[in-house]
Amino acid sequence: MMAKTKAEQAECQEAIEFLRKIVPVGTTVYNVLRHVSSSGMTRHIDCYVMRPNETTGESTTYPMWITHWVAKVIDCRMAKNERGMVVGGCGMDMGFHVVYNLGRVLFPEGFDIPAGKWGRNGTKVSEHDTDGGYALTASWM
């Protein structure tokens, strides 16, 4: 991994600030698998969150594409055709991997668990989880 230029660091910080507004603790990030390499070692994954329709004020939600910002934050590159970020690896749920790493970057100090909610592994935990990777939920579309 090469060191980031000051401009790249600034873009990354802007993406983090934007995503913290769009993807608060407890948000489900939806993944779409766009491509798998013939070796099975690389995938192109898109990320979406459901957002309210703020222009019309309707209570319905729509999927908002956030892949570009997620790729900047977790240091992935976009696919050449811009259909997903390139994620290497296999043998695990790579959508979970993307969302977990996004949570670790967005919430490096952990997160407060909402009152009455359960923590990881189905156990009641303290009011603060120190691992920000579990602040978000991953789901496939």
Count of CA atoms in the C-beta half-sphere (13 A) of 41: 1
Closest C-alpha among 90, 86, 66, 64 to residue 76: 86
Q: Evaluate whether residue 65 is within a structural domain.
A: yes
Selected residue with higher pLDDT from 137 and 128:
137
When mean pLDDT is compared across 30-34, 78-82, 101-105, the lowest value belongs to 78-82
139 contacts 98 by C-beta, under 8 angstroms: no
Contacts of residue 128, defined as CB under 8 A and 6 or more positions apart, other chains included, come to: 110, 111, 112, 113
- What does the alpha-carbon distance between residue 103 and residue 18 come to, in Å, rounded to a whole number? 14
Q: Domain for residue 14, yes or no?
A: no
**Amino acid identity, position 24:** P
Q: Please name the helix (run of DSSP H) or strand (run of DSSP E) that holds residue 4, with its range, or none.
A: none
Number of domains, the chain: 1
Tens of pLDDT along 32-81?
999 999 999 999 999 999 998 777 767 788 999 999 999 999 999 999 98
In-domain check, residue 49: yes
The answer as to whether 13 is a domain residue is: no
- Rounded to whole angstroms, the Cα distance separating 107 from 133 reads 7
In a domain, 6, yes or no: no
Q: How many CB atoms lie within 10 A of CB 64?
A: 14
- Confidence at 103, pLDDT banded by 50, 70, 90: very high
Is 34 a domain residue?
yes
- Domain with 31, as residue range(s), is 26-109+128-140
In a domain, 5, yes or no: no
Look up tokens 């690896």; give the residue: 89
Structure tokens, 92: 């695990």
**Is 20 domain-assigned?**
no
With contact defined as beta carbons under 8 Å apart, do 103 and 135 qualify? yes
pLDDT value, residue 119: 66
Give residue 109's pLDDT: 95
Confidence check: pLDDT of 1 > 60: no
